[in-house]
Amino acid sequence: MKIEAQDVHVYYGQDHTLKGVSLTVKKNTVTALIGPSGCGKSTFLRCMNRMNDLIDNCHVKGNILIDGVDINSPSVNINELRKAVGMVFQKPNPFPKSIFENVAYGLRVNGVSNKEYINDKVEWSLKQAALWDEVKDKLKKSALALSGGQQQRLCIARALAVEPSILLMDEPASALDPISTSKIEELIYNLKASYTIMIVTHNMQQASRTSDKTAFFYMGELVEYDDTRTLFTNPKKERTQNYITGRFG
């Protein structure tokens, strides 16, 4: 198992936001997290690379194992963890630097200074993110001049450059137009061969198009977790049924 979450609880101060979530994720699969907004999808995703540590009053309980290692144990270096578990955010958030420097940043903070290696890696990452052809002539230009969809693919390239094995995506297409969205979905499909992907989405079609497994969250609990096809065609719980048929949420 690539990821094993065992009875994960998250508290924001007094608020008990995630109430004992357990699930396992296989290597090189796409797992979609769905559910009404505020149900804790992002919170759960952020447990995987310990981004919740940045929030002052946030406490996480339970075990999360990645490749069998408890990521919350003191022996785990949080910066190494975040290199291994890349993240793409809802709103594209490129650095106010050049396109090249955006992708090279993860390498530089890793201590890489070999120019040739960085050049190759930047090109490789941009190709992986299906952005190379669009930006290869303007690598020195500011990343902020790109369109929203290009910015989001740049953020994916930036995450890939540090060679993660897991990619977390928090509603990566929710701020994008349909064409950019389908490019991102295609990308997710292609990246699956090399990465284990966890994606939060509001969009049921997107979940069914892109994922192998789907987890339905409701009010901080994992209601149902199954193969995507089974969950969408033959859900076991009534709540799931109601949600995917659009009766609430």
Partner 1 sequence: MAKKLGKRMRQKQVRKNKWYEFQDKSFKYIALAATGIGVLVLCVLLYDVFFDGFGRLDWKFFLDSSSRKAKNAGIYAAMGGTLWIMALTTIIAFPIGIGAGIYLEEYNKKGRLSNILEVNISNLAGIPSIIYGLLGLEVFSRTLMLGDTAITGALTLALLILPIIIVSTREALKTVPYNLREASFALGASQWQTIWHQILPASIPGIVTGAILAISRAIGETAPLIVIGAATYITSVPKLPNESFTVLPIQIFYWIGKPQHDFQVNAAAAIIVLLGITFVMNGAAVYLRYRWQKKVKW
Ligand X SMILES: Nc1ncnc2c1ncn2[C@@H]1O[C@H](COP(=O)(O)OP(=O)(O)O)[C@@H](O)[C@H]1O
Q: Where do contacts with partner 1 occur on this chain (CB under 8 A)?
A: 49, 51, 54, 56, 79-83, 86-87, 89, 91, 93-96, 105-106, 108-110, 144, 155, 158-159, 162
Q: How far is the CB of 37 from ligand X (least distance, A)?
A: 4
For partner 1, the closer of residues 63 and 110 by Cβ is 110
Residue 12 contacts which entry, partner 1, ligand X, Mg ion, none (Cβ below 5-8 A, type-dependent): ligand X
129 binding ligand X? (CB under 6 A): no
55 binding ligand X? (CB under 6 A): yes
178 sits in the region (left: phi over 0; alpha: psi -120 to 50; else beta) called alpha
Residue 11 contacts which entry, Mg ion, ligand X, partner 1, none (Cβ below 5-8 A, type-dependent): none
Q: How far is the CB of 170 from Mg ion (least distance, A)?
A: 6
Q: How far is the CB of 157 from ligand X (least distance, A)?
A: 24
CB 210 within 8 A of CB 30: yes
In a 3-state reduction of DSSP, which class is residue 231? helix
Instruction: Report the relative pairing of strands 85-88 and 30-34 from DSSP bridges.
Output: unpaired
42 binding ligand X? (CB under 6 A): yes
216 binding ligand X? (CB under 6 A): no
Round to whole Å and give the CA distance between 166 and 82: 10
Q: How far is the CB of 101 from Mg ion (least distance, A)?
A: 28
Q: How far is the CB of 127 from ligand X (least distance, A)?
A: 31
42 binding Mg ion? (CB under 5 A): yes
Residue 83 contacts which entry, partner 1, Mg ion, ligand X, none (Cβ below 5-8 A, type-dependent): partner 1
Instruction: Report the relative pairing of strands 58-66 and 221-227 from DSSP bridges.
Output: unpaired
Q: How far is CA 57 from the centre of its chain?
A: 23
Residue bearing tokens 């009766």: 247
Round to whole Å and give the CA distance between 244 and 249: 9
Q: How many CA atoms lie within 13 A of 55 on its CB side?
A: 14
Q: Which residues contact 45 (CB under 8 A, 6 or more apart)?
A: 33, 87, 168, 170, 198, 200
Site residues for Mg ion per CB under 5 A = 42
Return residues touching ligand X (CB under 6 A). Answer: 12, 17, 35, 37-43, 55
